[in-house]
Each structure stands twice: as C-alpha cells, then as structure tokens.
Amino acid sequence: MELENILIENKSGILLITINTPKNLNCLDLKTLNELEKVIHFVYESETVSGAIITGAGDKSFVAGADINEFKTVNIDNSFEFSLNGQRVLSLIENCKKPFIAAVNGYALGGGCELAMACHLRVLSKNAQVGLPEVKLGIIPGYGGTYRFTNLIGRSKALEYMLTGKLMNSKDALQFGFANHVTTATNLINFCLELLSSVLSNSKVSIEMIIRSVNSYQLLDFTHIEAQNFTNCFKSGDVVEGIDAFLNKRKPDFTK
C-alpha cells in the first residue's frame, strides 16, 4: 500500500494511523482522504488488525479541516458528490466492526472534527480545540458533521456551535459529551492504546453488534439531506466570498 500523507504502524494488533502533513496542519485534502480510504479498507480486511487509532502528526493539529483552496473547485454542479464522497469515507469508519479511536491532539476543525466524530471513541489532549466553523465560509459541514455533532452533544449545543462557528475546548468537549476522555499530549497515544486494548479484550461479536445497534440511527437518510443542503449553499455567492475572505485574511461580506 503506497501512502504519502499517512503513516501506519501495527502495535500488537492495533493500527496506529497518523495523518502526516504537519506543515499544513494535517488538513484533510482529497489526496489524504483517498489515502485514508485505502487504510480503512486495510483495517477491514487485515487479519492482524483488531482496531485502530487515528491521530495527527505533531502537537498542533489532529486535522485542521479541509484544504480551503480545494473549495475553489467545488460548485453547484459537483458539490453534492463532493459531500457524499467525504461522507462515504467517514461512514466506513463509523460502520466498521473493528473499533476506531480518535486521538485528538490540537485542532480538529471542520473535516477534522467530522473525522473524529466518525470514530467510535474520542480522546482529547488538554490543548485540543474542536469545532465546525463552516458557517464562516458560507457553507455547512458536509461530511456528516450536522447529524453526528447533534447526536453526540445534543441539539441545542450543536446548533449553538455550528451557527456561531466557535470552537470548543477540551474541558467543554468532555462536559458536553464530545470527548470520552481528556489527557495530556504526551500520554495521549498510550492512553488510547490502553483504552482500545480494554475494548478488544471483550467478545468481537458483541463489539460488532453494539456498533451496529448504536449506528441504527442511520436508517434515516441523513447523508443525502446534509449533502443536498451543502449543495444549496452554492446557490448563493456566499461560498465564493467566504473562501476568498478566509484566504485573504479579511472579514467576509456575506449576502444580506
């Protein structure tokens, strides 16, 4: 398996997956997303892997979001498929019978936050900040964020964070139910290894059935609803304005 943006290491049956592009804060660009899909399929198929941990290289960022420059190529014609592609990859994690833990070190924003939420458990370092700030770009979360965030922390808090675009610190993430645990940055991976080892000491059949039962909320077709609403954002000029403002570090002038 050829990988350029991701590192993998088998630690006694637990695959440590590291998004390894720290210069751009481990952003979830399309190339990285495609590589991640390959790694997830490897987890599905491997007889020597029982579970996985996803983290980001360095101490600043888990995954700081999508590559905003790539949004320049997204428009009304391809935005629906763009959203469904990301949802499809992250749903592979959520629906995997082998448990995934997100080891969130630093920023987990936009697509990075959505990646963390697709994992079955989340452990945050004390310096972690998570959020879905897409509203500031004139779009919405498109990789499953609207429904997973609501499912994790409740409708009111999810709406507040998504409508304001503000970030959540590790203390609030633990209090509101986003994080399962918070630990130090230096202990993050070891903590996750111990937690996942504890999970994997149980019946594999039970683990699979619990994951399948918890994920039964997906029987409603949230994916297409979110993808369509993501596409609806491209019917206005707010996306172009929001992306240009972000890249040029100015305040956006959205449609009134």
**How sure is the predictor about 155, in pLDDT bands with cuts at 50, 70 and 90?**
very high
> What's the pLDDT at 220?
67
| 199 within some domain | no
> Is 160 among the residues known to form the active site?
no
Mean pLDDT of 128-148: 96
Instruction: List the domain range (segments joined by +) for residue 48.
Output: 6-185
Mean pLDDT of 12-29: 96
If phi over 0 gives left and psi between -120 and 50 gives alpha, with beta otherwise, what is residue 238? alpha
Among candidate residues 114, 160, 208, 226, the one labeled active-site is 114
Report the C-alpha gap between 234 and 239 in whole angstroms: 6
> What's the pLDDT at 69?
87
**How sure is the predictor about 243, in pLDDT bands with cuts at 50, 70 and 90?**
confident
What percent of the chain is modeled with pLDDT above 90? Answer: 80
Contacts of 124 (CB under 8 A, 6+ apart): 104, 130, 170, 173, 174, 179, 181, 182, 183
**Per-residue DSSP letter, 16:** E
Report the C-alpha gap between 79 and 125 in whole angstroms: 33
Among candidate residues 134, 194, 226, 241, the one labeled active-site is 134
| 102 within some domain | yes
| 218 within some domain | no
Q: Kindly tell me if the per-residue pLDDT of 138 is higher than 60.
A: yes
Mean pLDDT of 211-229: 81
> Is 114 among the residues known to form the active site?
yes
| 247 within some domain | no
Q: Kindly tell me if the per-residue pLDDT of 200 is higher than 60.
A: yes
The model carries a pTM of 0.93
CA distance to 65, 81, 107, 115, 241, per residue, from 32 (Å): 11, 17, 17, 12, 26
| 205 within some domain | no
Contacts of 26 (CB under 8 A, 6+ apart): 19, 20, 32, 56, 57, 58, 61, 62, 63, 64, 112
Q: Kindly tell me if the per-residue pLDDT of 256 is higher than 60.
A: no
| 130 within some domain | yes
**How sure is the predictor about 219, in pLDDT bands with cuts at 50, 70 and 90?**
low
Residue of higher predicted confidence among 136 and 59:
136
Location of structure tokens 């959205």 = 254
The distance of Cα 251 from the centroid of its chain, to the nearest Å, equals: 26
| 192 within some domain | no
Residues 98/52, Cβ–Cβ less than 8 Å: yes
Mean pLDDT of 199-207: 96
Secondary structure (DSSP) of 96-114: -SS-EEEEE-SEEETHHHH
CA-based nearest residue to 43, from 85, 86, 94, 4 = 94
Number of domains in the chain: 1
Residues 137/242, Cβ–Cβ less than 8 Å: yes
Mean pLDDT of 171-186: 98
Report the C-alpha gap between 9 and 29 in whole angstroms: 22
Domain CATH code at residue 58: 3.90.226.10
| 105 within some domain | yes
